[in-house]
Amino acid sequence: MVNLNQYPPKNGRNYYLALGLEGSANKLGVGIVKHPLLPKHADSDLSHHCEMEILSNVRDTYVTPPGEGFLPRDTARHHRNWAVRLVRLALKEAGISDPSELDTICFTKGPGMGAPLHSVVVMARTLSVMWDVPLVGVNHCVGHIEMGREITKAENPVVLYVSGGNTQVIAYSENCYRIFGETLDIAIGNCLDRFARTLRIPNEPSPGYNIEQLAYKCKNKDCLVELPYTVKGMDLSMSGILGYVDSLAKDLFNKNTKNKLLFDSQTGQQLVTVEDLCYSLQENLFAMLVEITERAMAHVNSNQVLIVGGVGCNVRLQEMMASMCRDRSNGQVHATDERFCIDNGVMIAQAGLLQFRMGNTINDLAETVVTQKFRTDEVYVAWRE
Amino acid sequence: MKSVRGSDLPYVLYLEIPFETAAQANTAVKVLSPDPILKPQDFHVRYVADGSKLCVDFESVDDRVLRVGVSSIIESIKTVVETIDEFS
Amino acid sequence: MSLPLAVYKSPNVEEHRFQVDPSQDRYNTTNGTTTGPSAYVLEAGQIDKDKPSEPKRNEKGDFTYLSKLRMQLTGLQDDMNEYLTHQMELAKNKKLKQADEQRIRGEIDKLLDGGDGDDESEEEAKKDT
């Protein structure tokens, strides 16, 4: 059993307040959460029943023109220039007039892009020194997991974490989020984003969302374009699929009638559309995810799946996963909506506040150096049994 | 201005930023100091609070590395200035 | 108010001082010229929606001390970036000029060494460099 109340809130209050700052990729998120101080948390395993209240959740996304990705320098510039304004907005929305009331300021320590992470931590350190509020460094993946757990209340699910920067299958065991399977090369969100760039579709609201919409419009769902299927045991690889589907798209745009998959060998008529490619790519990638997730579920004897991360917004992925779960002794898939799937500050505040309540605060600013690589299994999950 | 230490990093720049109070200058030093330099053999930076002044000494192997390092650190200093301005 | 300043020294430059002139526009904006979006993104058609925030004003409507400092620092940063870029150009041109002079010296030396231009294979080899 775990005692989440061992470090009481400030000023004899009966609730905790945490500010969360997220900026590991192109989304800058600021969130403020409140946890009531409840007797049930003194000796239990209820870190997914915090009765968390969201006082504010603001976010600004750095969007690049179609065909372009976001690079560290400009992403860091975006975060630097918006950080103070977003924090001011979040405090206003939360009705906090005296920020020194905060119990903790939580920031993403990693993993992610170096320069953007750094631009956020400079502000976090300044706020901490000015308001005399302790800092907590949070692992981005753990942020997603704890947010998913609190919102969905899923009981010890296998977690599928899928985003632009990460693809991991995770299961909890003995104070550790163990990685059961992961990508051997690129993340699934990265694969979809790069294909979106090849197609030159808009990056607003996100490239993955626009691929999902194109896939819906596919009229040939019965004729899947055959793509490489690259599951490797518990892991998967996607760079080969991306290379191949990119070459198909280029042949399509260049009207390369020699490609018999895309054009009829006799009439030269186009057989496959961009929508068909999007649909087939999703079906292929998602089937691979379902397979490695199922493998992990078999290992830990679970029938629950929690999908977190930006790609978790994808309805088709949720459908395919739900179908597999149902076939496994009527299991369930849990997912959150785009407010929480997509990177946000609230998830950092949630995970950070759990760390804070277990005494894991930073004593020296030297511990606040951000890091591009930070494995999910490096975190000691003190707040769970 | 401090003298150049040796000649292994002979491209130097001294930057002086007058804050309103010593507390602000000290905050800046605390906030900027933790970050390690990627290539310490090419670039070196030192932060000191002298009353309400933030004094920064840069030393570099050439103009290009100096320019990149100085500009990047000024971006961080501007963040500190803006944050103090907004929230104190 | 005190103004930010910078002093530069190098093997080629005895001392160069950077000073802020608060009457000039470049020290009265938070949006620097050398700290905008990257060239590749502008070329792809990006409209910059992520400029630095406007300087803060107090209740009387004047700029706060720190917002003035931020603007002055922005101008100073532009000065330094432009100056150092210029220094880099000078160094590059000096290097190219030196390389050129070395090549010409080499060719003169070869001729003075008794080569009278009849050695065709030597001439061919020089053309390839």
Q: Which of A19, A39, A46, A15 is nearest to A30 (CA)?
A: A19
Same fold, A10-149+343-378 and A156-340: yes
Measured in angstroms, the CA of B29 and the nearest CA of chain A are apart by 10
Whether C71 has a pLDDT exceeding 80, the answer reads yes
Question: In the CATH scheme, what is the code of domain A156-340?
Answer: 3.30.420.40
Nearest CA in chain B to A368: B34
Average pLDDT over residues C32-48: 93
Whether C17 has a pLDDT exceeding 70, the answer reads yes
| pLDDT score for C116 | 56
Average pLDDT over residues C20-31: 96
Q: Which of A115, A113, A87 is nearest to A99 (CA)?
A: A87
Residue C105 φ then ψ, to 5°: -60, -45
* Confidence bin at B88 (pLDDT 50/70/90): confident
Is B33 domain-assigned? yes
Element spanning A338, H or E: helix A338-341
| pLDDT score for A329 | 83
Is B6 domain-assigned? no
Is B56 domain-assigned? yes
How many Cβ atoms from other residues are within 10 Å of residue A253's Cβ?
Answer: 12
Is B37 domain-assigned? yes
* Chain B: touching chains (3 or more CB pairs < 8 Å): A, C
Give yes or no for C36 touching B (CB within 8 A).
no
Of A83, A130, A369, the CB nearest to B84: A130
Whether C36 has a pLDDT exceeding 90, the answer reads yes
A208 annotated to bind ligand: yes
Is B81 domain-assigned? yes
Binary contact (B11, C4; C-beta < 8 A):
no
Task: Give the pair of three-digit tokens for residue C121.
Answer: 């294979």
* Confidence bin at C94 (pLDDT 50/70/90): confident
How many Cβ atoms from other residues are within 10 Å of residue B43's Cβ?
Answer: 20
Using an 8 Å CB-CB cutoff, list chain B residues near A365. Answer: 30-31, 33-34
Does residue C81 contact residue B71 with C-beta atoms inside 8 Å?
A: yes
Is B62 domain-assigned? yes
Q: How many structural domains are present in chain B? A: 1
| pLDDT score for C74 | 97
* ipTM here: 0.93
Report which of residues C120 and A324 the model is more confident about: A324
Does residue A312 contact residue A164 with C-beta atoms inside 8 Å?
A: no
Tell whether omega for the bond before A111 is within 30 degrees of 0, i.e. cis. yes
Binary contact (A65, C44; C-beta < 8 A):
yes
How far apart are the C-alpha atoms of C79 and C19, rounded to whole Å?
A: 9
> How do beta strands A231-232 and A53-61 pair?
unpaired
DSSP state of A108: E
How far apart are the C-alpha atoms of B46 and B59, rounded to whole Å?
A: 9
| pLDDT score for C110 | 87
Measure the CA angle with vertex C90, ends C86 and C92; round to 5°. 115
Buried-state track C6-32, b at ≥16 Cβ within 10 A, e below 16: bebbbeeeeeeebebeeeeebbebbeb
How far apart are the C-alpha atoms of A68 and A51, rounded to whole Å?
A: 41
Measured in angstroms, the CA of A99 and the nearest CA of chain B are apart by 9
Nearest CA in chain A to C42: A65
How far apart are the C-alpha atoms of B78 and A22, rounded to whole Å?
A: 20
Tell whether omega for the bond before A134 is within 30 degrees of 0, i.e. cis. no
A230: helix, strand or coil = coil
DSSP state of A2: B
Binary contact (B80, A122; C-beta < 8 A):
yes
Is B5 domain-assigned? no
B vs C: CB pairs below 8 A = 84
* Confidence bin at B6 (pLDDT 50/70/90): low
Give yes or no for B76 touching A (CB within 8 A).
yes
Reported in sequence order, the residue ranges of B1-88 that DSSP labels E, i.e. its strands, are: 11-18, 43-50, 53-60
| In chain B, % of residues over pLDDT 90 | 84
Q: Which of A128, A104, A100 is nearest to A8 (CA)?
A: A104
Whether B2 has a pLDDT exceeding 70, the answer reads no
Residue A225 vs residues A205, A267, A323, B16: alpha-carbon distances, Å: 27, 19, 22, 63
Does residue B75 contact residue B24 with C-beta atoms inside 8 Å?
A: no
| pLDDT score for A118 | 98
What is the Rg, in whole angstroms, of the alpha carbon atoms belonging to chain A? Answer: 22
| In chain B, % of residues over pLDDT 70 | 92
Q: DSSP of C43-60, one letter per residue?
A: HTT-----PPPPPPB-TT
Q: Could you state, in order of their start, the residue ranges of all structural domains in chain A?
A: 10-149+343-378, 156-340
Whether C128 has a pLDDT exceeding 70, the answer reads no
| pLDDT score for B73 | 97
How many Cβ atoms from other residues are within 10 Å of residue B30's Cβ?
Answer: 17
Measure the CA angle with vertex A299, ends A293 and A300; round to 5°. 95
* Confidence bin at B7 (pLDDT 50/70/90): low
Q: Which of C84, C85, C87 to mutate to test the interface with B (most CBs of B within 10 A)?
A: C84
CATH architecture of A10-149+343-378: 2-Layer Sandwich (3.30)
Element spanning A320, H or E: helix A315-327
Tally of residues, chain B: 88
B43 lies in which domain range? 11-87
Q: Which of A259, A245, A183, A256 is nearest to A214 (CA)?
A: A245
Is B3 domain-assigned? no
Whether C115 has a pLDDT exceeding 80, the answer reads no
> How do beta strands A304-308 and C16-18 pair?
unpaired
Average pLDDT over residues C63-70: 97
Binary contact (C91, B4; C-beta < 8 A):
no
Give yes or no for B6 touching C (CB within 8 A).
no
Residues 6+ away with beta carbon under 8 Å from B72: none
Chain segment B24-67, per-residue pLDDT in tens: 999 999 999 999 888 889 999 999 999 999 999 999 999 999 99
Average pLDDT by stretches of 10, chain A with 385 residues: 96 97 98 97 96 98 94 97 98 97 98 97 98 98 97 96 97 97 98 96 94 96 94 97 97 93 91 96 98 96 95 97 92 93 97 98 96 97 97
What's the CATH number where B46 sits? 3.30.310.50
Q: DSSP of A127-188, one letter per residue?
A: HHHHHT--EEEEEHHHHHHHHHHHHH--SS-EEEEESSS-EEEEEE-SS-EEEEEEBSSS-H
Nearest CA in chain A to B82: A84
